[in-house]
Homo-oligomer: A and B are copies of this chain.
Amino acid sequence: MATARLFLLLLLLSASCSAWEISIRMPTADRLEAEVVAPLIHALRPLLGSGGQLAARAGVACDSWRLGVEAHNVINWKTVPAKCEGYVGHYLLGGHYRRDSAVVVDEAIAYAETLQLAGNGKEVWIFDIDETSLSNLPYYAKHGFGVTPYNDTSFREYVAEGSAPALPETRRLYRRLLEIGVKPVFLTGRTEDQRAVTVANLRKQGYSGWEKLLLKPAVHGAAGGLHAPAVAYKSGQRQKLKDSGFIIVGNIGDQWSDILGEPEGARTFKLPDPLYYIG
């Protein structure tokens, strides 16, 4: 009986399997609204976007792989498993990604609101940029959702457009911290030559009033690109902040390399990212 139901379910849903590509759009509302997360692909999500049953039958449990990534068990991966392209696409473009991000940010705000601040302007919160403050989903939706190897040239071209939307949950945290009196510091793998477009993009997306925007020295190509080693660089920058008298009360990023390595910050938050891994 259960099997019959499942087959009917599969039958109903498989009809719309080919339709998801035409519904690529990033919900932009600050709060997650039911209508925002109900695009064409909605009906697929319970099966492909989260259950991963179809993926499991194809030999890759995409939801389990994603959990492995988020819990830092699956590391040093180069690309998303080919069979998980559809899964990752559905996850990111449906409401699931937004819902997962909302829980992280709710937790971060609840924590921030408990802080006893000295009020001397030295308390900062570290924000990563890509897939944290800004979302590159419009790029990755056109480039196989992490299934194809990272292309520094085309990604830089995309960044140069300055068109990346905000991740609305992160912007909500950012604004709440400003209200509370914690100063945001951006710490990114983007390079100095991308400063102007990054500033413009952040401002356009509603970010303002940051304390610092720390970019890497302007080195073009792979060595200075998205996939250059990050743990040492980012923890080194945080150490410099600490040495300058700043107190890092919080730190949020989509990569474990954003939040590992002393000084991590008093508390760290890992946003979901099943698109790429930076070690």
A interface list, Cβ under 8 A from B: 2-3, 5-6, 8-9, 12-13, 16, 38, 40, 42-43, 45-47, 49-53, 56, 61, 63-65, 67-68, 70-74, 95-96, 99-100, 102-104, 107-108, 268-270, 272
Chain B CB within 10 A, most for which of A3, A45, A71, A108? A71
Most buried by B among A42, A65, A73, A96: A73
Q: Is the CB of A99 within 8 A of B64?
A: yes
Q: Are B5 and A73 in contact, CB atoms less than 8 angstroms apart?
A: no
Chain B: minimal CB distance from A83 (Å): 14
Find the B residue at minimum CB distance from A49. B51
> How many identical chains are in the complex?
2
Q: Which residues of B contact A71 (CB under 8 A)?
A: 70-72, 104, 270, 272
Q: Are B43 and A107 in contact (CB under 8 A)?
A: no
A46 touches B46 (CB 8 A): yes
**Cβ 8 A contact of A74, one of B50, B95, B107, B272:** B107
Q: Which residues of B contact A38 (CB under 8 A)?
A: 2-3
Q: Which residues of B contact A95 (CB under 8 A)?
A: 56
Contacts of A49 in B (CB 8 A): 51
